[in-house]
């Protein structure tokens, strides 16, 4: 499989989005976040999405250059309508607004709706943690397909509705929770197909409730995903409903129950930022979170097993490794990227041997 350095991949991605009509600053931001997803070990939401995002621009589903509308604005709250902007750009602007409001008001919530796919949800809470704040993101994945069934069902009722939370840790990887409320992200099933592999057991069922492992059955809409927890997924189902309400109803975007226009992905997101120093002193916060990290690391494991990780260390370890070793891309994904770049007249870097 081709291995491409992060820097080359960023340049390629930026050039493609600029050629597709994005302002250069936005193209730079999109490229940085997309490649960061690969670096942080989430290839499912990295550059493999580039051809799809570019197609959405070409088909007029996503606007490469648009202004957001402020629907509601108070000192601590806002709702933004992104007017079909690129997801990464709109979600970043919404998080920047949430951080600035939390600086003034100690806690803020900002909803953003009517935007394309925002990629790796964890990227946005990480922005708050980089500034010493706690960030949360709830994303209702409205759009063409309800691909996740409620607990006990065999029919899709919503999509993968991810949740992320990020807490700063002094001189260490931030504590980062970042996952779909379905058993895995849907793109991991598409990724399994590209790798010629089966989906894991417990990810999908068919309309008769029988387990399914063939990724093609999911693409053909013959199988639906189970909520987080798989066959015992009532808690994942509950979390998915939480996201549908927080991000769907509280932003005014609605839910799959009332969704009429299913032509576009709408990664409607509800962001919360908290300034921890408004509650406890910075010294106390740092001392306590470092003690918690150390305490969890000190957990005994079974002989031969790797040490316990803190949520977010997987991403930190992947990034340190991939910055050095490069990013490995599946052959069909690399072919699709090359084709998309060629259509825009953008030169493609040569993978490293
Ligand atoms: P996943 O199953 O890969 O789990 C990731 C989480 O598990 C992270 O918090 C990570 O730090 C933690 N983790 C991994 N290994 C660990 C270990 N050994 N010990 C402790 N914690 C560990 O997540 P997923 O549900 O497959 O989601 C993958 C990506 O897909 C995420 O970045 C998510 O934001 C993204 N996603 C995006 C959308 C969208 O519509 N934009 C939808 C769904 C998912």
Distance CA 48, CA 64 (A): 19
Quick one: pLDDT band at residue 7, thresholds 50, 70, 90?
very high
- Kindly state the average pLDDT of the residues 140-150: 94
- Strand 223-225 to 266-274 pairing: unpaired
**Smallest CA separation from ligand 1 atom 1, residue:** 179
Contact 149, 226 (CB under 8 A): yes
Report whether pLDDT(194) > 90. Answer: no
Pocket test for ligand 1, best of 40, 45, 243 (most atoms within 8 A of CB): 45
Domain 1-64+313-353, second-level architecture: Orthogonal Bundle (1.10)
Distance CA 320, CA 27 (A): 24
Q: Which atom of ligand 1 is found nearest the CA of 87?
A: 41
| 137 Cβ closer than 6 Å to some ligand 1 atom | no
Percent of the chain with pLDDT over 90: 95
Distance CA 184, CA 45 (A): 12
Dihedral, CA of residue 340, residue 45, residue 84 and residue 86, to nearest 10: -70
Contact 24, 15 (CB under 8 A): no
pLDDT value of residue 147: 95
DSSP 179-241: E-SBSS-HHHHHHHHHTT-PPPTTSEEETTS-EE--HHHHHTTSEEEPBTTGGGTHHHHHHHH
Report whether pLDDT(226) > 80. Answer: yes
Instruction: Kindly list the domain boundaries of the chain, sorted by start residue.
Output: 1-64+313-353
**0.85 surpassed by pTM:** yes
Report whether pLDDT(353) > 80. Answer: no
Contact 110, 101 (CB under 8 A): yes
- Kindly state the average pLDDT of the residues 136-153: 95
């Amino acid at each position: 499989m081709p291995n491409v350095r992060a820097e080359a991949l960023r340049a390629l991605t930026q050039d493609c989005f600029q050629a597709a009509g994005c302002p250069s600053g936005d193209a730079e931001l999109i490229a940085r976040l997309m490649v960061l997803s690969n670096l942080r070990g989430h290839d499912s939401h990295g550059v493999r999405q580039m051809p799809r995002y570019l197609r959405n621009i070409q088909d007029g589903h996503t606007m490469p250059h648009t202004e957001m509308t402020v629907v509601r604005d108070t000192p601590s709250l806002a709702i933004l309508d992104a007017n079909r902007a690129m997801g990464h750009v709109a979600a970043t602007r919404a998080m920047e607004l949430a951080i600035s409001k939390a600086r003034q008001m100690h806690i803020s919530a900002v909803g953003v709706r009517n935007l394309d796919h925002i990629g790796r949800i964890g990227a946005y809470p990480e922005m708050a943690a980089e500034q010493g704040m706690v960030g949360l993101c709830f994303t209702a994945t409205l759009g063409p397909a309800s691909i996740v069934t409620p607990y006990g069902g065999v029919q899709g009722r919503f999509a993968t509705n991810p949740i992320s939370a990020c807490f700063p840790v002094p001189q260490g990887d931030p504590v980062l929770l970042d996952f779909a409320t379905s058993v895995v992200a849907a793109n991991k099933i598409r990724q399994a197909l590209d790798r010629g592999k089966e989906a894991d057991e417990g990810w999908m069922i068919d309309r008769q409730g029988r387990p399914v492992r063939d990724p093609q059955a999911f693409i053909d809409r013959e199988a639906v995903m189970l909520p987080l927890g798989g066959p015992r997924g009532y808690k994942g189902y509950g979390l998915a409903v939480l996201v549908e309400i927080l991000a769907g109803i509280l932003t005014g975007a609605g839910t799959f129950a009332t969704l009429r226009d299913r032509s576009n992905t709408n990664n409607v997101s509800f962001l919360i930022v908290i300034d921890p120093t408004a509650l406890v002193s910075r010294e106390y916060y740092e001392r306590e979170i470092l003690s918690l990290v150390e305490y969890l690391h000190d957990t005994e494991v079974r002989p031969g097993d790797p040490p316990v990780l803190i949520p977010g260390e997987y991403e930190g370890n992947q990034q340190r490794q991939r910055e050095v070793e490069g990013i490995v891309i599946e052959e069909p994904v690399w072919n699709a990227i090359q084709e998309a770049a060629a259509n825009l007249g953008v030169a493609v870097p040569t993978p490293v041997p």
